Chain A
Amino acid sequence: MWRDALLVAAKDLRIEMRSRVVANQVLPFAGLTLVLFAFALDADPTVLHATGGGLFWVAVLFATVLAVQRSVGVESSNGEAGEGLRMAGIDPAGIFLGKSAAIGAQLIALEAVLTIAVAILYHLRIQGVAILAAAAILGTAGLAAAGTIYGALSASSRVRETLLPLLFLPVVAPVLLSAARAWQLALAGHPGPGAAWLRFLGMFAVVYMVTGTLAYESIMEDG
């Protein structure tokens, strides 16, 4: 399983290095979202300070939808989603873990750049770095795992591009809530209470990792 996961993750990351879809399209989209939020909120520094963490995670959520769609898209040809991977004989749990790891790695890189963008655009002082980093890692693990599951569920649908956000966004609302709260507390200089939100993010990630590892075969075969 782990060997297969490594193989799939390395393949997906190599495809991203070549195509640069996340770097050249998803990242600018997420950055643009942050700019538009600032316009919508009239660039009021007080409001932006108070909502910066939440806006950051909304942008990450939108970027996750695109990253998952890309991950599903590279496995689909002529509407036969995932047939090549199925025929390759790879352990489905390995496919799930590998795809989740690749999406997670891309999102972490994207979040690092967006953090700098948030600090510049919203004039936020980055503090409570340990809580910020922990929330980013745990939140990203949950988003990547849930995204991989719902990406596979929607893959065989002819309307997968529109179906995925409809299935995925409500499910990950708890990640948005917890990660945004943890970030708001850390950025406001009160990182202590953020630990409770980290536990919730960790639980969410573990539940979806375990669910995906156990259920991915049925999702791929019967989805």
Chain B
Amino acid sequence: MEGVHRMTGAAQVLDRPVARVAPWRRRGLRRAVTFYLLISPWLIGFVLLAAIPLVMAFLMSLSNYDGLNLEYVQFVGLENYLRAFTDPDAQHALGRTLLLMAVVVPFSLALQLALALLVNQRIRFTSLFRTIFYLPYVIPVVAAAWVWKIFVDPTGGLLNALLGVAGAAVNVRWLVEYPTVVLALLTIWGAAGGGMVVFLAGLQGIPAEYREAAMIDGANRLQVTRHITLPLLSPVIFFNLVTGIIATLQILVQPMLLAPGILGLSPGTVPPRDNYLYAVHAYLEIFVKQLFGYGSALLWLLFGVVLALTLVLFKTSRRWVFYGIEP
């Protein structure tokens, strides 16, 4: 990486009249204006579409709003936030969610990268293989949950039939005995295609010359992957890691849809204890107990956990993510 010249004066520049600024500083100001113009669609959208609901949602978490009638709303301060720390269900749910994340995210990331490398080879039928890996991702989550419910069905499912091929009939009730295994498989299977495509886009952005040059220098395929491909791919790995963590911690409908029993999503559905995830708990507190205030506080706490994890990742990323330009 080349040294990037730092615009040390940029912040001060904005405070001064333009006429008095030295030419190189004016360049900094112009660059700043360009930046703000470029991001203006998002900035305007954020202020108009996100900021107001965010403020409303935060105020809700400081109240005892029950979703029914604004007439009785009271401000309760931080009570809802403190309550979460004495709620055994919230703690159980957070534990299960973090466990699921710890299993699913690393495994997903490795699988997505491996799939991208596999279908990026010069082999036949790449288009077919890519489509197969990508397909689960395009199935909407409601249908994907049905797919797995039927796949692991004790009597009519393929999984038990395949496991039973070797010997005696297998009659495992997956959704009752191993609900988290099914949830993890559904999540990994469903997300693989999305991550793979992002990796693929990244891989194809790496100039072939880099790898060819290394091969000529006598490096084998593994070494090229380790020393050329992975470092150049690190911003994309980072992207998939962060978005994977965010998505996994917010999982809500999958455990509800995988709950044993009827296909469908209704507020009365309660997933098995093992799949009682954090967002599920918040959902039930909001829509079953009508505790919109407390449920919102739970979700803001989840936001805090996600944010903290992401910030830690950003700090460490300086050591292992390599950008073409310093971000």
Query: Are A and B genuine complex partners?
Result: no
Give me the interface of A with B, judged by CB distance under 8 Å.
none
